[in-house]
Structure 1
Amino acid sequence: MDKITFTRLELYNLVWKFPIIQIAKHYEISSMGIKNACEKMQIPLPGSKHWIRLNYERKSIPKLSGDYKGNSQISILRKMYESPLRKTARSTPLIALIESIESDSKAPSKVLEFLNNPTGIIRKTQNYWNHAELNRNVSETPEEIIQLSVDQKNTNRALRFMDALIKLLEYRGHQFKKSNDNRDIILMHKEIEIDIHLREALKRIPPKTNKDSADYIFTGEFILQIKKGSYKKEWRDGKLPLENNLTAIVAKLELIAVEEKQWKEASF
């Protein structure tokens, strides 16, 4: 299930800077989930009258208890209204945006069976993987190469998916780029950066003897993860392959960017 993880300090700072209902809306989690998390982590909460007072009338913020011995992080389940497999009687902003993207006949919203005129970074990544034997001793991923954590036999599928994703994002006015520390990021609306990573799930093979170590093998299941601050979301192969979620992924990225922009504007 989709979760969002906070450190104790992050959650403490949030609940004393913004009303819980605003935090819940921004992160798509329930107000009760936030309150329960604060109770578990011994985080004091503002009283109901705190937010109706002027800034200079508000009491000083209580400090975090130093006696807390629990976990330093906590995960809160996100609301699942955006699940593409869930049937709903009414539309949501996500569903409406997905339908808008899919109704655009000019939008490159399909993953092709073969690479066709790939983007520059896809060509460079393909060349890198084609020469993987020569590059096996390279300790760091070269600049301008997408970081793909997949079995080499599945690189063609990974490249086709990422090529389609990048082209659809660019068509929508966004940009795929490398960060200064070599992370793969999506630049939404030329200002909101969201980390993105495609990987293949691993399966642990138990050791045969006590002297052996466990082994890990690729399963063929693709997982795409996006990350913005403490917020994370994943799409993975399931009843439908990851390729079927292309428009949903782009729509979700755009909604995250819009909320992040509104969040920043409200913070000043």
Structure 2
Amino acid sequence: MDKVSFTRLELYNLVWKFPIIQIAKHYEISTMEIKNACSKMEIALPNNRYWNKPEYKRPKAPKLSLDYNGNNQIHILKKRYEMQFRHTSKSSPLLDAVHQIKKDLSDFLIVKETLENPVEIVLTTKGYFKNLKQNDRKDFLEILNLNVADKNLNRALLFMDAFIKLLKYRGHQLIKNTNEADIILFNNGIEIEIDLREALKRITIEGKRETSEYIFTGEFIFRAKRESIKKEWRDGKILLENKLAIILAKLELIANEESFFTN
């Protein structure tokens, strides 16, 4: 099956019985699609602290709202990157777009090992983080919103430099909005917000009772959102550097669909 279906009650029971990541692995769907489905069906989600407590200490799940007037069933497609490429003979708009990008832009899909003629915002971002200890103010500089460990900053800059150059070649551009978010302005006028960050892991500090902190894991996450549409790509067996084609293809498909519905 290429999709999984849930009723509103079924999804509600699942997300309050199991962590979303377990549900995603079991049904072979993405955690982001589960969150989107819950948002559409007005299902509240437990926060991360909920699962850190013993079951007997967890608060009761809030009751489903009776004011909900939407669909009682939702379908979630199995769209994992690895699954899309297991059967390469089966065509789809996304797969066709990926193949075309790889064919036309193979030279632009390579993330360099060093910065070569970086775009201005990447160069400015590099300088800002280099001098961060001396000056912790942005002073109206336009820099990328990156949330990564210092040791992985260079990798983040290399990835974003390649991605922005790829956007420019396709006729799109990266801009900053009034909230200083990173926005892709597509050539059809559609805007999609993006960010690159490193996953965090919660650890307990030894010797301090019930004290914990979050540390970077080295796993990069590239996220995109436009209103209720949210997508993300993570490092896995395939690193983000090797997912440029599918990221761009998916974002362009979203922009084209949004343009169709807004015009």
**TM-score > 0.5, shorter chain as reference:** yes
| In the alignment, structure 1 residue 44 sits paired with structure 2 residue 42 | no
Q: Aligned in 2, Cα 1:217/1:141: closer, same or farther, shift over 3 Å? A: farther
Please list the CA deviations of residues 54-105 of structure 1 after superposition, one character each: whole Å capped at 9, or x if unmatched.
Answer: xxxxxxxxxxxxxxxxxxxxxx774124624432241110110111111115
Q: CA deviation at 1:44?
A: 3.0
Determine the structure 1 residue equivalent to 2:243.
245
Determine the structure 2 residue equivalent to 1:221.
219
Percent identity over paired residues? 42
| In the alignment, structure 1 residue 145 sits paired with structure 2 residue 143 | yes
Determine the structure 1 residue equivalent to 2:183.
185
Determine the structure 1 residue equivalent to 2:115.
115
> Is the Cα contact below 8 Å between 1:2 and 1:77 reproduced in 2?
no
Q: Using the alignment, how far apart are the partners of 2:108 and 2:96 within structure 1?
A: 18
Q: Using the alignment, how far apart are the partners of 1:253 and 1:259 within structure 2?
A: 10
Determine the structure 2 residue equivalent to 1:164.
162
Determine the structure 1 residue equivalent to 2:94.
94
Q: Using the alignment, how far apart are the partners of 1:234 and 1:141 within structure 2?
A: 30
Larger radius of gyration: 1
Please list the CA deviations of residues 161-207 of structure 1 after superposition, one character each: whole Å capped at 9, or x if unmatched.
Answer: 00000000110010001001111110112511101000001111113
> Is the Cα contact below 8 Å between 1:8 and 1:41 reproduced in 2?
no
> Is the Cα contact below 8 Å between 1:143 and 1:178 reproduced in 2?
no
Determine the structure 1 residue equivalent to 2:77.
79
Residue type matched to 1:97 in 2?
A: A
Residue type matched to 1:232 in 2?
A: K
Aligned length: 209
Q: Using the alignment, how far apart are the partners of 1:10 and 1:172 within structure 2?
A: 32
Q: Aligned in 2, Cα 1:141/1:190: closer, same or farther, shift over 3 Å? A: farther
Please list the CA deviations of residues 137-173 of structure 1 after superposition, one character each: whole Å capped at 9, or x if unmatched.
Answer: 43x6854100100001111000000000000011001
Determine the structure 2 residue equivalent to 1:50.
none
Determine the structure 2 residue equivalent to 1:176.
174
Q: Using the alignment, how far apart are the partners of 2:95 and 2:258 within structure 1?
A: 19
Residue type matched to 2:132 in 1?
A: A
Q: Using the alignment, how far apart are the partners of 1:173 and 1:203 within structure 2?
A: 37
Equivalent position SS for 1:234: strand
> Is the Cα contact below 8 Å between 1:236 and 1:242 reproduced in 2?
yes
Q: Aligned in 2, Cα 1:77/1:210: closer, same or farther, shift over 3 Å? A: farther
Determine the structure 1 residue equivalent to 2:127.
127
> Is the Cα contact below 8 Å between 1:186 and 1:194 reproduced in 2?
yes
Q: Using the alignment, how far apart are the partners of 2:38 and 2:151 within structure 1?
A: 42
Determine the structure 1 residue equivalent to 2:32.
3
Residue type matched to 2:229 in 1?
A: Y
Residue type matched to 2:69 in 1?
A: P
Equivalent position SS for 1:108: helix
Q: Using the alignment, how far apart are the partners of 2:169 and 2:32 within structure 1?
A: 30
Q: Aligned in 2, Cα 1:219/1:81: closer, same or farther, shift over 3 Å? A: closer
Q: Aligned in 2, Cα 1:202/1:9: closer, same or farther, shift over 3 Å? A: closer
Q: Aligned in 2, Cα 1:244/1:8: closer, same or farther, shift over 3 Å? A: closer
TM-score, scaled relative to structure 1: 0.70
> Is the Cα contact below 8 Å between 1:2 and 1:233 reproduced in 2?
no
Q: Using the alignment, how far apart are the partners of 1:142 and 1:206 within structure 2?
A: 38
Q: Aligned in 2, Cα 1:212/1:132: closer, same or farther, shift over 3 Å? A: farther
Q: Aligned in 2, Cα 1:45/1:7: closer, same or farther, shift over 3 Å? A: closer
Residue type matched to 1:204 in 2?
A: R
Unaligned runs of 5+ in 1: 13-39, 47-75
Please list the CA deviations of residues 101-136 of structure 1 after superposition, one character each: whole Å capped at 9, or x if unmatched.
Answer: 11115751211111110000011001111112113x
Residue type matched to 2:228 in 1?
A: S
Determine the structure 2 residue equivalent to 1:21.
none
Q: Using the alignment, how far apart are the partners of 1:220 and 1:92 within structure 2?
A: 32
TM-score, scaled relative to structure 2: 0.71
